[in-house]
Amino acid sequence: MSNARLSEPAVSGDTDSQDPGWATRPLHTEAEIEARVDALADAIAARLGDEFVIVSILNGAFLFTADLVRALGRRGCRPRVEFITLKSYGDDLKTSGDVRLVGVLPDRLDGLSVLLVDDILDSGRTLMTATSLLEDRGAASVSTCVLLDKPAGREVPVSPDFMGFSIGDVFVVGYGIDYAEQYRYLPYLGYVEATGGDPV
């Protein structure tokens, strides 16, 4: 994954007219995402039962969390939903390595099972930090669920309990995931690519 700053990439595989060097390419379709969310909901319901707390890491996981909560509800689950914000990405394409809590943690977690939901497991620092914070808050157990796992970026030893898709060392946008706060609206998952065909 490149360390350089980019101009905004184009959408749906078209070259940006202002910067012809970059474009976005499809990675996973809407139908593939929907099917995978349903499979995750089956696995989560089987392991965690009907009642638990979902803690979603904003902002990138908001669409994934919304779809996952609805899928769990269709399976009879009644999760309480909370949100936290942790900052590790800036406008650059690499994690800063410095993970910080923004705002406050959820309360009333003592003795409860928690499902921590994030968009991408990359370096592992965000998931490790969030898990530790929730355990310190009194959660009886913290399971982790990520939409995307990028093993090539791992810097600390952490693995998700539930995973949507494993991806290579590419910079992903769409389905709630942004580049510099853009492209969250894309209904599919794509990746930023140099128009010569090389992933970023």
Which residues does the annotation mark as catalytic? 122
SS3 call for 195: coil
In this structure, what is the dihedral angle of CA atoms 42, 44, 47, 53, given to the nearest 10 degrees?
A: -140
Contact between residue 147 and residue 120 where contact means Cβ atoms under 8 Å apart: yes
Q: Please give the DSSP secondary-structure letter assigned to residue 20.
A: T
Residue 197's Cβ-side half-sphere holds a number of Cα atoms within 13 Å equal to: 0
